[in-house]
Structure 1
Amino acid sequence: SWIRDGSLTSTALLRLGHDKDVKDFIDWYAPYQYDNGKIPCCVDEHGATPVPENDSHGEFIYLVAEYYRHTGDKAELEAMWPHVVKAVAYMDSLRHERMTSKYTVGANKPFYGLLPESISHEGYSAKPMHSYWDDFFALRGFKDAAFIAKELDKPEAAKFAAFRSSFRSNLFESIRQVVILRKIDYIPGSVELADFDATSTTIAVSPGGEAGRLPGPLLARTFDKYFQEARLRRLGIKPWDAYTPYELRTVGTHIQLGQRARAHELLDFFFTGQRPAAWHQWAEVVYRDPKTPKFIGDMPHTWVGSDYIRSFLDMLAYERESDSSLVIGAGVRDEWVKEPPGIKVSNLSTEYGPLNYDMSGVGKVVTINLRAGIRMPPGGIVVYSPLDQPILSAAVDGVPTAVRGAEVRVRKLPSIVTIRYAK
């Protein structure tokens, strides 16, 4: 079992209410941590795999924190605390390998403060690279370690927060330098190659939570470029033989970047790669010619399936870290809303508790019934325009309320939100 697959698959399971399965996985995996704090990338019948893959440490910490956010199980958080502390110490030691004087000058400067090269990103299996995939997971781990320490009232909270801030600063500066030195207009996949790999960069948005901090134009251009190439592939203009449906992660990323129509165009294409169609699943590799006699990996591929689940659930609701809000409806289709009985979400797990709402449209009006049972997020509940057109006006419980772009922010529960459109 891979912690990489396991952490993100666990996120999908948590959102669907399968808490016990996730706890069992955490409890089984944690004892395989090495004495120096290293989290193994994989555990099999022979035990922990020693190959260094530097995304694993952040993924484990994230998994522990995510389980707690969905369950409030402080006893499990306390039990995992020693593992978290050791993993943080190991990540800190790794980044300090790139904080010597050698990395403060010349061509080595973009490596400063990052994690060392590894092969965790499968595209770098032939030769290890300083992969931003590893670094964004490390940042997620440092962030969640600081969060866990604060929740448990541990004295390490301030130190871990300092690690988080320092590492983020080094990571963003590295990206800035590579963009300038290599004359690119997107977030690269690695320092050495300055390669374009939007599927990898999705991790910066989810679960990384850095969409609100990364340079906006650079982030937008990364996924503009990806979408343009994906559309050319779909139309048959760009030749292709195969793709890996890990790209399903880009659907959720487009939702979180406010690109609903693009997200559905991508998803419609990916659905054509489900083979056999009646199985409703993806293999690890999808070939243009389904009879191609080459490697397809696991079928069904669980991690790919969990990427789909997470992206689909983002259409209904996702936590937005930049303003501590819960965004609902950002990916729903017009017909889902307008065709009776509309949309009904029941007990969708979020870090604020179980989410329940109904959404339906008649004529030029869409009504959203936000039900009780969830804690109000610090930034409120953001109702994203259910229809893919500009909002004319909105009201909460009959009282007119402000509209900011495509968003209506709600501060009380239960409540009924009414959104009016011009057509």
Structure 2
Amino acid sequence: QTYWTLVGLPKDTEESLFDEYGNLEFQADAPMLMPYIKEGENLYSAAGAAKITQTLQDGYLPVPMVQWETGNGLHFKSEAITSGPVDASITYVRHTLENRSDTLRKGEIIVTIRPAQINPEWQHGGLAPINSIRYEQGIGKPVIINGRDSYLSLSPVDSFLAPQYAHGDIGNALRGRVVLEARADKAGDTVSIGDETRTGLLSAAWTYAFELTPGESKEIVVAAPLHGTLSNLKTAADFGELRQEYVTFWTDKLDRVGFELGDKTVENTVKTQMAYILLNNDGVVIQPGARSYNRTWMRDGAMISSTLMRFGFFEEVREYLEWYAQRVEADGLVPPILFTSGEVYDGWGRNIEWDSQGQFIYAIMEYYRFTGDRDFLEKHFDAVHRAMQYLVTLRERTLDPEHYAHLEMGERLKGILPPSISHEGFITPMHSHWDNFWAIRGWADGIEMAEILGREYLANWARKEANAFSTSVRESIEKTIDWKSLDYIPVDADKGTPDPTSIAIAMFPTEAWHVLPADALDQTFREYSQMVTERDAGPDPYSYTPYEVRNILALATLGYRKEAFDLHEILFKGRRPANWNEFAEVVLSDSRKGVYIGDMPHTWVGSGYVNSVRGLIVMEEDKSKTLNLLFGTPPEWLANDGITLSNFPTHFGNLMMQAKWDDSDQRLDLDVEIPKDPERTIYVRWPIHKEGKPEQVTVEGDESYRVDDHGIWLSGNKFRLVAKWKSGDVLNIAGQ
């Protein structure tokens, strides 16, 4: 298994893949560009490097670099960027060879074009057939593959080589094992070769001679047009300026909201998810991936939208929701999947996924909660109303006795949503509580919208429907537990399947846990926490989906805050490569086992991670109008310079907050400022390593505070809090 990241621009319909070895796939299904160093009889590549590292610019910007060493003094660096307007963008890669030895070094930098994608076969990728190659030697002349422009060298080339596959891949030619039929050695020379074997396995290479004294380096710049046009092509000399423009562009994008943690690795990982989300988007369409998942689900879009708004990206969300709302059908069905063209996905699952109803309503209301845009609510309330009416239509199917009367304990299916596959854990449609939790959230948000807009008659109707539906869901869960003699919350009403990761949404974001039996809910997550700990520590190979990040907030909500952070630390190890701050959809303990991993970076997973980290710091409770601060914050995030939030969006306005833990003095310092709101209450939780009441509490700016064993209640909008505990064991937090 090889891992990769994205290089591109927001809203572009094409993105390049850049892998952990510095190889490039400039667009979907394209042949791969792979660099080598040749010195004498030795051929070096990143895959066999003595040492290799992957990094991002400043630790979080989506400007990837790969650096590797031959083990004998040669150092190679590859870095990739994309530049230009989104309909005429070009990806550039700069390869730099540096002589770090104390002797003169001679050889060749070789950049090959191979008939394979970075995206492997088990990811619906694999081969990228090359049936013909045409090339005219010269700077900026494109290699024409299968009749289309592909890669071009912006640096002077010494030779261009292209063997027939009958003699083997280009690697054989580089080792001098075959005679080349096609090569170009000087400006104006041309190469034209067709595949005589009809395998589609032609390959080629540029060679660049080097002679470097100690400390000297040589740069090679190659480019590829993502949309077939070279109208914005720059020169090799422009790469440095283009790269700085790319860095500045992403810095401005990602630093619009102040978000700093004492743990910079976590901080950087959160920030990078924003970039990956924007890179995965095609136009206004939010997508979870760039290759395997090159379309949109309301399931993914709703949660990714909520993540974007939590970090100040409102325009992107508004454009997406406007686009999706236009496609809500006349009867109220919210299409669960849409192609980026706007056409409704008509494949399997088209009419057996029901979570999109509640998710669409939630997303519309979530936009209002962050922006206060009443006109937006008014504009889309008709679509929301239709979506609620369709929930009634769906429920009517299971209220019919013919749906359940013939089954053992069949009334467990009565009044909930009909079978679906939207839970994603089922191939055969099941009565999924995943859908039910989202419907509960949809009803709650629909009611609130109706009230805001003065549709009291619709609010009353929706309130009646919501209460009846919630009652049915609660009864279904209780009857399934009794029928199967379960001690946990089942995710479906058909078989009583355990799946804590799907149950977790009942706490965040659906706030539907009032329908769950408390003892079974507690048992569900205590058993899950124990399982993960044992899985991580055990000797057996395993795999999991990082959707498990949802369980971080579930554990914290249930009071298991230390266990929540322990889970974070376990799942955080699933980033690959770690310094690229990205998650796949599937993680294996054997990181090199080649299996389907969804997409990389997978930004529905990434959004779940961001929401969980943010939730451990700032968590809104919409029903109670409570802003929880330091909800499950570990001391590691409060160490060093602590947590600083500025212009930080919440449902109650932009938050300014500084929080720091002083381990030597056993003291928490917290400064908060947020817009006034008489209906909003603030609850500051004590850090997770200090669950007991402090010995001393001082508050400036709020006289009406109330302290309890778990935190402090405040009603003001600007205050300074200092809480001190008795001296105890020092944590020895890194940096303090």
TM bucket by the smaller chain?
over 0.9
Equivalent residue runs for 1:38-77 within 5 Å: 38-44=333-339, 45=341, 47-50=343-346, 51-52=350-351, 53-77=353-377
Native 8 Å contact 2:473 2:515 kept in 1: no
Matches of 1:63 and 1:386, distance apart in 2: 31
* Partner residue of 1:300 out of 589, 601, 608: 601
Q: CA deviation digits over 1:53-90, x for unaligned, max 9? A: 01011100010010001100111111101100111111
Alignment-derived partner of residue 196 in structure 1: 498
Deviation at 1:260, TM superposition (A): 2.1
Alignment-derived partner of residue 20 in structure 1: 315
- AA in 1 matched with 2:303: L
The reply to whether residue 412 of structure 1 matches residue 712 of structure 2 is: no
Alignment-derived partner of residue 276 in structure 1: 577
Q: What is the SS of the residue equivalent to 1:391?
A: coil
Q: What is the SS of the residue equivalent to 1:357?
A: strand
Equivalent residue runs for 1:373-388 within 5 Å: 373=675, 375=677, 377-378=679-680, 380-388=681-689
Deviation at 1:46, TM superposition (A): 6.9
Deviation at 1:236, TM superposition (A): 1.1
Compared CA separation, residues 240 and 181, structure 1 to 2 (3 A) = farther
* Partner residue of 1:4 out of 289, 299, 324: 299
- AA in 2 matched with 1:419: A
Alignment-derived partner of residue 236 in structure 1: 538
Equivalent residue runs for 1:232-271 within 5 Å: 232-236=534-538, 239-271=540-572
- AA in 1 matched with 2:491: G
Compared CA separation, residues 323 and 400, structure 1 to 2 (3 A) = closer
* Partner residue of 1:341 out of 636, 641, 644: 641
Native 8 Å contact 1:199 1:249 kept in 2: yes
- AA in 2 matched with 1:414: K
Q: What is the SS of the residue equivalent to 1:122?
A: coil
The reply to whether residue 290 of structure 1 matches residue 591 of structure 2 is: yes
Matches of 1:36 and 1:47, distance apart in 2: 17
Matches of 1:372 and 1:208, distance apart in 2: 25
The reply to whether residue 170 of structure 1 matches residue 465 of structure 2 is: no
Matches of 1:346 and 1:374, distance apart in 2: 16
Alignment-derived partner of residue 332 in structure 2: 37
Compared CA separation, residues 313 and 113, structure 1 to 2 (3 A) = same
Larger Rg: 2
Matches of 1:355 and 1:253, distance apart in 2: 24
Deviation at 1:381, TM superposition (A): 0.2
Matches of 2:688 and 2:591, distance apart in 1: 36
Native 8 Å contact 1:355 1:374 kept in 2: no
The reply to whether residue 93 of structure 1 matches residue 380 of structure 2 is: no
Higher percent of residues as strand: 2
Q: CA deviation digits over 1:299-329, x for unaligned, max 9? A: 1001000000000100111012453211000
Matches of 1:215 and 1:403, distance apart in 2: 29
Alignment-derived partner of residue 529 in structure 2: 227
The reply to whether residue 150 of structure 1 matches residue 433 of structure 2 is: no
Deviation at 1:376, TM superposition (A): 5.0
Compared CA separation, residues 103 and 374, structure 1 to 2 (3 A) = farther
Matches of 2:592 and 2:554, distance apart in 1: 31
Matches of 2:719 and 2:440, distance apart in 1: 36
Identity of aligned residues (%): 32
Native 8 Å contact 1:245 1:286 kept in 2: yes
- AA in 2 matched with 1:19: F
Compared CA separation, residues 268 and 87, structure 1 to 2 (3 A) = same
Higher percent of residues as helix: 1
Q: CA deviation digits over 1:166-199, x for unaligned, max 9? A: 1111101110111111111111010112011000
TM-score normalised by the chain length of structure 2:
0.55
Compared CA separation, residues 240 and 372, structure 1 to 2 (3 A) = same
Alignment-derived partner of residue 182 in structure 1: 484
Alignment coverage as a number of residue pairs: 419
The worse-fitting range, judged by mean Cα deviation, of 318-327 and 307-316 is 318-327
* Partner residue of 2:699 out of 389, 392, 396: 396
* Partner residue of 1:214 out of 516, 541, 562: 516
Deviation at 1:104, TM superposition (A): 7.5
Q: CA deviation digits over 1:207-240, x for unaligned, max 9? A: 1113456332222111111111111101116x44
Matches of 2:404 and 2:711, distance apart in 1: 44
Deviation at 1:348, TM superposition (A): 1.9
Structure 1 gap ranges (5+) = none
Matches of 1:240 and 1:364, distance apart in 2: 41
Native 8 Å contact 2:355 2:434 kept in 1: yes
Deviation at 1:402, TM superposition (A): 3.3
Q: What is the SS of the residue equivalent to 2:399?
A: coil
Alignment-derived partner of residue 416 in structure 2: 114
Matches of 1:348 and 1:283, distance apart in 2: 27
Q: CA deviation digits over 1:353-404, x for unaligned, max 9? A: 11111112331321211114353553x1000002512122434328695322
Matches of 2:646 and 2:542, distance apart in 1: 41
Q: What is the SS of the residue equivalent to 1:189?
A: coil
Native 8 Å contact 1:392 1:419 kept in 2: yes
Deviation at 1:416, TM superposition (A): 1.6
Deviation at 1:418, TM superposition (A): 2.3
Q: What is the SS of the residue equivalent to 1:57?
A: helix
Deviation at 1:103, TM superposition (A): 6.0
Matches of 1:320 and 1:334, distance apart in 2: 23
Q: What is the SS of the residue equivalent to 2:528?
A: helix
Deviation at 1:3, TM superposition (A): 0.4
CA RMSD of aligned residues (A): 1.8
* Partner residue of 2:632 out of 331, 338, 341: 331
Q: What is the SS of the residue equivalent to 1:124?
A: coil
Structure 2 gap ranges (5+) = 1-295, 728-736
Alignment-derived partner of residue 253 in structure 2: none
Q: CA deviation digits over 1:89-129, x for unaligned, max 9? A: 1111101111123468552100111010011111112x100
Native 8 Å contact 1:326 1:377 kept in 2: no
Native 8 Å contact 2:474 2:515 kept in 1: no
Matches of 1:320 and 1:75, distance apart in 2: 24
Matches of 1:46 and 1:30, distance apart in 2: 11
